């Protein structure tokens, strides 16, 4: 991708969505927040490709939305591998003709003490959270730019903004990188009809938070959140859907915070 171009390449199709024709790819969609995002987009009429490291789990999640496979499909995707994004792009365009939205949601966290994080653990967490956002934005960003229209929404994190280590310093570092990559891709792709934004959640009411924090500490966590409760994954999904909308072209390079008042700026 090269900055400074004035529009899509000569002869490129300027893709606009017809009624019921929008297609979205969501990474890490077999469970948790990714599954909620995929379900919300599907409710809004998108055809959705749910991708995950486990193709079997992705297929089950897709089948829960549409057993026929007409409007939801599950695919295996290792976000650490650029060629996997290219394979998914090609599979979905062959199936549904085009893609309009990419949601880079896939991530992994490990609650490890800062000084005990091994080089292998650091690389593994950063690769999934940061490399995945980079490769996804690179592959689909180029595809969208060639068509003259597209939406990329990255899932960042409060940890990447305030340096929180409850989910691991490697996770916080990677999510800080996701916020920066959002701006980098947004700047590069803005003049080609492609927006790139991020949503940055705090502690969500999802199983992973209960597993990391522990049931005995959840109430204490809620007390430390200004609004007094864990945060709604469905609202995060609504924010993603709004940034993914065709008429959302006025917003790019932004990071929308959903943290219950834990981090105000």
Question: Which residues sit opposite 196 in a β-bridge?
Answer: 152
| Phi, psi (deg, nearest 5) at residue 48 | -125, 130
Q: How far apart are CA 221 and CA 216, in angstroms?
A: 10
Longest Cα–Cα distance of the chain, Å, equals 60
Number of other CB atoms surrounding residue 195 within 10 Å: 24
Using alpha carbons, select from 34, 22, 96 the residue that is nearest to residue 247: 22
- Residues marked active site are found at 171
What would you report as the CA-atom Rg of the chain, rounded to the nearest whole angstrom?
A: 18
The token duo for 244 is: 């993914």
Q: How far apart are CA 36 and CA 230, in angstroms?
A: 16
* String of DSSP letters for 194-234: EEEEEEEE-SBSSHHHHHHH-GGGHHHHHHHSTTSSPBPHH
């Amino acid at each position: 991708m090269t900055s400074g171009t004035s529009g899509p390449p000569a002869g490129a199709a300027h893709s606009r969505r017809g009624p019921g024709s929008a297609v979205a790819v969501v990474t890490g969609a077999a469970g948790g927040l990714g599954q909620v995002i995929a379900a919300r987009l599907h409710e809004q009429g998108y055809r959705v490709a749910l991708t995950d490291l486990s193709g079997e789990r992705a297929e089950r999640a897709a089948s829960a939305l549409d057993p026929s496979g007409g409007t939801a499909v599950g695919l295996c995707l290792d976000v650490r591998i650029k060629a996997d994004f290219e394979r998914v792009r090609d599979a979905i365009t062959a199936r549904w003709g085009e893609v309009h939205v990419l949601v880079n949601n896939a991530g992994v966290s490990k609650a490890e003490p800062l000084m005990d994080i091994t080089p292998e653990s650091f690389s593994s967490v950063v690769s999934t959270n940061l490399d995945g956002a980079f490769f996804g934005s690179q592959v689909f960003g180029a595809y969208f730019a060639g068509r003259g229209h597209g939406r990329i929404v990255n899932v960042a994190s409060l940890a990447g903004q305030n340096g929180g280590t409850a989910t691991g310093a490697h996770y916080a570092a990677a999510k800080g990188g996701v916020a920066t990559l959002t701006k980098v891709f947004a700047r590069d792709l803005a003049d080609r009809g492609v927006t790139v934004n991020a949503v940055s959640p705090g502690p969500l009411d999802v199983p992973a938070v209960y597993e990391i924090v522990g049931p005995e500490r959840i109430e204490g966590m809620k007390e430390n959140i200004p609004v007094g409760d864990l945060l709604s994954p469905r609202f995060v999904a609504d924010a993603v859907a709004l940034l993914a909308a065709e008429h959302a072209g006025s917003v790019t390079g932004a990071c929308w915070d959903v943290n219950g008042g834990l981090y105000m700026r």
